[in-house]
Amino acid sequence: MSKRLFIRTYGCQMNVYDSDRMAESLAAHGWSRVDAPEEADLVVLNTCHIREKAAEKVYSELGRLKRLRAERAARGETMLLAVAGCVAQAEGEAMLERAPFVDLVVGPQAYHRLPELLARRAREQWAAFATDFPVESKFDHLPERSGASPVSAYLTVQEGCDKFCTFCVVPYTRGAETSRPVAAILAEARRLLASGAKELVLLGQNVNAYHGEGPDGRSWSLARLLGALAELDGVVRLRYTTSHPKDMSEDLIEAHGRIPQLVPHLHLPVQSGSDAVLEAMNRGYTAEAYRRIVERLRAVRPDLALSSDFIVGFPGERETDFEATLDLVRTVGFAQAYSFKYSARPGTPAQVMRGQVKEAVKAERLQRLQALLAEQARAFNEATVGRTVPVLIDGPGRHPGQLVGRTPWQQPVHLDGTGLQPGDLVTVTITGSHAHSLAGRRAAGATGEGRA
């Protein structure tokens, strides 16, 4: 039997990381990855459940794949269909009611069991499931990453979340918060660096709640882990995502002033600028507390660029609450942001709260917020024009001969790639700015990373 695998990934970087791990786990059993479902013997949808539309997209994609499978069956080909990720976890067996043709349903804690589940599916007539939370760690079972690695490599250090924001499904789909031990993370980091990674992006749903066991038997904070990673040979840049404002501890803030490889860019979701809404969301901080965290960060790292997540139209959000959000955006200033209309998720406390906001009101608020955020993002990019900054080359750019790299503030820069290759750190003068990227030209002289 031929073993060609296609994985479609939805949602967050954690899912991108998980898709790679699934591919590696199956590679050990002879599966190789292809670029299109039409060519695959197994199609995996690695799904995201965070907003309603994401789940709906999965069901409509499943509908398309069902038709593809029928076409291929007519040609005598077989195609297995697996659903992984948070929709799989949340829906469990209910998924088979809406999509009875699915072969495998596997939650994020069970990816190491994929080969076994495939074997089970081949033996039995019904779909194979694995959506309970096991006690053993999937990290002990997944094969170590192999082969060439990209310049910027993801490294999961923490999973799950205990915050229970009232709108969010993550604590239910990803389970309780757990941290990987320091030694395992350092070992994976060394391997990534040895295979060419220059930037390590530490991942976790609640990454700054990290509290993994250190080699000294004590619990290490994220700041301490970052300090140890910065000591490894060849680490040019370090980032971590996603953080919760409540876990921005003093030592982590201080790390931003102390660790040179830690980029001056932080994704710190605030969700709302209204204290009443923040409280109803169970976020555990006020708008003022968020502002103070940002002030402290900027005191140690004045060039820090912030990115954030926002939800508009949370139950009970009045016009004055929404204006408080706009006010927070104006006073804090964001280089980049993601904003969403509140979407009621089954099983979450906010779903049954009074004061659900009308769709039209949500849409109107989202549009106002996005206009303001887009203006700030544009101004932020525009302010880089004329400056000379270090750019880490990522890969091919838009046009032939071009490469794309990133500034320390995460802005993509397109430039002539002559004599350059991915992984190079070069000095670039920014010559132009667009909505989401910059154009640049190589400048003479060498610049290391560091303060701008």
Interface ranges with ligand SF4 (CB under 6 A): 161, 163-165, 168, 170-171, 205-206, 244
> Are the beta carbons of 174 and 50 closer than 8 angstroms?
no
Residues 35-74 binding ligand 5AD (CB under 6 A) are: 50-51
**315 φ/ψ sector (left φ>0, alpha ψ -120 to 50, else beta):** beta
- Does the protein bind ligand 5AD through residue 163 (CB under 6 A)? no
Sheet holding 336-341, edge to edge: 265-267, 305-312, 336-341
Half-sphere exposure of 332 (CA within 13 A, CB side): 33
The binder of 406, among ligand 5AD, ligand SF4, none, by C-beta within 5 to 8 A per type, is: none
- Does the protein bind ligand 5AD through residue 342 (CB under 6 A)? yes
- Does the protein bind ligand 5AD through residue 154 (CB under 6 A)? no
- Does the protein bind ligand 5AD through residue 245 (CB under 6 A)? no
- Does the protein bind ligand 5AD through residue 409 (CB under 6 A)? no
Interatomic CA distance for residues 293 and 395, integer angstroms: 35
- Judged by CB, which is closer to ligand 5AD: 173, or 407? 173
- Does the protein bind ligand 5AD through residue 168 (CB under 6 A)? yes
The binder of 244, among ligand SF4, ligand 5AD, none, by C-beta within 5 to 8 A per type, is: ligand SF4
DSSP secondary structure code for residue 262 in this structure = B
Interatomic CA distance for residues 124 and 80, integer angstroms: 13
Cα separations in angstroms, 241 against 203, 287, 434? 5, 21, 25
- Judged by CB, which is closer to ligand 5AD: 245, or 269? 269
**Among 129, 167, 220, 322, which residue interacts with ligand 5AD (rule: CB under 6 A)?**
167
**Among 37, 107, 108, 269, which residue interacts with ligand 5AD (rule: CB under 6 A)?**
269
- Does the protein bind ligand 5AD through residue 271 (CB under 6 A)? yes
- Judged by CB, which is closer to ligand SF4: 204, or 264? 204
Q: Which residues contact 297 (CB under 8 A, 6 or more apart)?
A: 248, 253, 256, 266, 304
Number of residues that bind ligand 5AD (CB under 6 A): 12
Structure tokens given for 137: 């760690």
The binder of 343, among ligand SF4, ligand 5AD, none, by C-beta within 5 to 8 A per type, is: ligand 5AD
Coil vs helix vs strand at 265: strand
Interatomic CA distance for residues 180 and 248, integer angstroms: 19
Structure tokens given for 318: 């009045």
- Judged by CB, which is closer to ligand SF4: 193, or 281? 281
Interatomic CA distance for residues 126 and 101, integer angstroms: 9
Residue ranges in contact with ligand 5AD by CB under 6 A: 50-51, 167-168, 269, 271, 309, 311, 340, 342-343, 345
